Structure 1
Amino acid sequence: MTQTFVARFSGALVMTLTLAGVIAAAQAKLPTVVVYKTPTCGCCTKWVEHLKAAGFTVETQHRDDLTSIRQQQKVPPTATSCHTALVGPYVVEGHVPAADVKKLLAEKPAIKGIAVRGMPVGSPGMEGANPQKYDTLAFTEGGKTSVFAKH
């Protein structure tokens, strides 16, 4: 009886440790997200928490004005929101779901970045009672946009 318990416990422990290792390895593969936001933006802080909950490491940079960062990163004026992030070689503008960021990193499309324009209710960091439909847009360095994901 004791040997059976020990064998089962050992097997469960090995499986738990293996699963923890797989999760840690998957999360370790995610690059750090650098988020540029104004110091007082509460919805931006909620979006950062959304990314962290999805396994991203996030570094926050507070700026009073994000215009120069957006211009430098070639975010189309029609795709702006309240925060700008850099992850790997890409720009992420606005309340983009973490799943879309992971899709971007996995698929590696030849684009400059992705964006959720404005601040749609129901997007990460903008949770609310009456969620709106919104699109995550892909954008090129030349400013052309296309739908990356629908929500």
Structure 2
Amino acid sequence: MTLEFDQGIVPGLVKETLGEIYFVKAQRPRMLYEDNENTGEIKERPVEFSSAIQETMFVVNFPPKTNLDGLSFGDVVELEEVEFRFWISIDRESMSNRAENDLKVSALRYKKTGKNIFQMATSNHVLSAKEKTEPNKGNVKKE
């Protein structure tokens, strides 16, 4: 059986497949080359994210003009206009039958949700600590 996708694009349900998506770090921009010469122009901006459901990190490629300055480690984001493109690389000069393949994830934009997983954890921790220092406050009898 052969799976065929229109232009190599694999349909995907982003929220259902990845769950909450957390910003990890921006990688170095990929530069555009012509005749093996760096043109100085940015081709795409790869960004590393983590998936709550998949429990793994993955890279999303954004257009060159995407502004990443407002992102902090742990920020929860929503990806917009996401594309999953399957690729395969076969070394025809190799003596083995080895092939590398993966999905390239691209998005036109991202939107911050206003949440950060580390700030949420800190808020819960502070609340728990307060509850521990003031046990049964509601059941205190006045004498």
Q: Calculate the TM-score normalised by the size of structure 1.
A: 0.23
Larger Rg: 2
Greater percentage in helix = 1
Greater relative contact order (Cα < 8 A, sep 6+): 2
Q: Calculate the TM-score normalised by the size of structure 2.
A: 0.24
Greater percentage in strand = 2
